[in-house]
Chains A and B, each alone.
Chain A
Amino acid sequence: MKKRLLFSFAIFCAVVNLVAANDSTNTTPKKLVADPVNAGLKTPSGFSASIVADNLGRARHIVATEQGGIYVKLERLKEGKGIVYLKDADGDGKMEINKTFANYYGTGIAIKNGYLYASSDQDVFRYKLDDKGNVIDTENPQRIVKGLWDKRQHASKSLALDDAGNIYVNIGAPSNSCQETDRTKGSKGMNPCPILDSAGGIWQFKVDLADQSYHNGVRYATGLRNVVGLDWNQQQKKLYVTMHGRDMLYTLYPDMFDTTVSAELPSETMYAINKGDNAGWPYVYYDHFQQKKILAPEYGGDGKKTGGENAIDPIVAFPAHMGPNALLFYTGNQFPEKYRQGAFIAFHGSWNRSPLPQEGYYVVFVPFKDGKPSGKWEVFADGFSGTGVVKNPREAQHRPCGLTQGPDGSLYVSDDVKGTIYKISYPSK
């Protein structure tokens, strides 16, 4: 008890000190409470996490400039703006809002060769950057892609760019499993699935042509239900993606699956993509227990029959429903050897595991060698939800959604509940 009191007193002093320090050194009002230890996260030993920005809104994907600024794409407009530009102008380790712009909401944001690329749920825009990483004209971006499907479900458009002047855009299928009536018990799977003509894949466009759309884009890969995380691997010169697997095996087929199986299947999957690849949705899903592509019940499957002979296999299969929302290959050299060229994946956290506890709400690391996983995936940063077990997603205080690598090799993670931006560095200071 005495110890406890002493400890509380120490904390009290620390807070008072902090307040005092803030008072004397800053004219702008700052938060009066210290950030939680290690930003409330659990990271591997030697790493340290801090909060660099907070309360930005629904921060989806993020991208760092070569100069250390960060652009954040918002899923809902905040004071009429959909992109936030953060900078640490005073060098205090916290980033301030330098500018907000763009009158559209969305998810995708990326930088390549002096341009910032950002997406709404239908269009892709680009903005020229100056040599400090600032957008030169925030009001007049060039619209390079327009009119992509936005049917509400899985409408976010994630972006990746190669070195040959191409941009890759995910067009998620506005459907769970291509049933005649979406997510409805007893409704058959459409065969062939007509959605695949316009969605359920990755489309490739040129970076410098205005107003491209389906007629002059290339369907680069198909059979991908909804890819939110994608990254161009510089070393392999190849596109890698993480896909959200289908939902509701139990709700739609209670005679075939129970709630436990439905919570644990199908896998969330990561693929290495070559032009023309087909990953099999909606006809098959991946089962990491059987390590097979299984015929979807909407197409005559029973949980055992395999299918998708012409479809590619995933290179990593994760537990079901965790929502891999961002993928980043680590190209820095700040982190230890093990992490170089490996993949970080931000898992948004599940909802479709009820009545079982939800899963995810963390950032995962997968070691890679020569473009292939060289070991098991592991949780890299945990604790975003702020609660032990998440029963209902609304309990999660933060949900990881975007990843970017700073010029010094630090890893940044965005959260789309409160709009918190985390920085994870090594070695800890």
Chain B
Amino acid sequence: MKFVYIVTILLTTTAFVLPEEKATVVQAPLKASIERGKTIYLQRCMACHQADGGGVPRLNPPLDAASKVKGNDKVYLVRVIIKGMTERVELDGEYYDNNMSANPDLTDMQITDVLNYIRNSWSNKANAVTVAEVKAARAKIK
């Protein structure tokens, strides 16, 4: 188990730093991460953000095409998932009334996976998130 974990860290980390022409070679781990992330998404996130990532008007924001979901502020994304969200903030020009669940029990790997899923599903396409990045982000938001 631990071995798989380390390999994944290595592979996803490499996916992130390798130059583009090598990308096809390292797509597999990202794909696997997205697959695992989907399972977490269906259990933890789908109720609110919906199967198609479209959210619920005025209640839960869409993740599909959301600028911050596709963006590069990964610390923000990790914080949202660990801590949830209860403040009235504007997201892409709209406000939402629901509270987002906190997920303090998800591991760095699970957060990595679910982020890779939401950043690379529906119309979203973004670079891979690595376990190392999530670990570093978690340390920052404590």
Contact = CB atoms under 8 A, between A and B. Distances in A.
Given A182-B99, A184-B102, A251-B101, A394 B55 contact: yes
A174 B88 CA distance: 13
A306 interface: no
Query: Chain B: interface secondary structure?
Result: loop
Interface of B: 42-44, 46-48, 50-52, 54-60, 62, 84, 86, 88, 97-105
A225 to B, nearest CB: 14
A165 interface: no
A58 B47 CA distance: 24
A247 interface: yes
A152 B88 contact: yes
B84 A393 contact: no
Contact of A354 (B46, B99, B101): B46
Interface size range on A against B: 20 to 34
30 contacts: A58-B58, A152-B86, A152-B88, A181-B84, A182-B84, A182-B99, A183-B98, A184-B84, A184-B101, A184-B104, A185-B105, A187-B102, A250-B47, A251-B43, A251-B101, A254-B43, A262-B47, A351-B48, A351-B60, A354-B46, A354-B50, A355-B42, A355-B46, A391-B51, A392-B50, A392-B51, A392-B52, A392-B54, A393-B57, A417-B57
A84 interface: no
Interface string A246-273: 0110110010000000100000000000
A354 B44 CA distance: 12
Contacts of B100: 183
Query: Chain A: interface secondary structure?
Result: loop
A152 B98 CA distance: 7
A352 B47 contact: yes
Contacts, number: 75
Contacts of A75: 58
Given A250-B47, A251-B43, A251-B44, A394 B57 contact: yes
A176 B48 CA distance: 13
A300 interface: no
A394 B51 CA distance: 12
Nearest to B84: A184
B45 to A, nearest CB: 8
A352 B47 CA distance: 6
A98 interface: no
Nearest to A155: B97
Given A251-B43, A393-B56, A417-B57, A355 B101 contact: no
Contacts of A186: 105
A251 B46 CA distance: 9
A274 interface: no
A114 B23 CA distance: 72
Interface in A110-159: 152-155
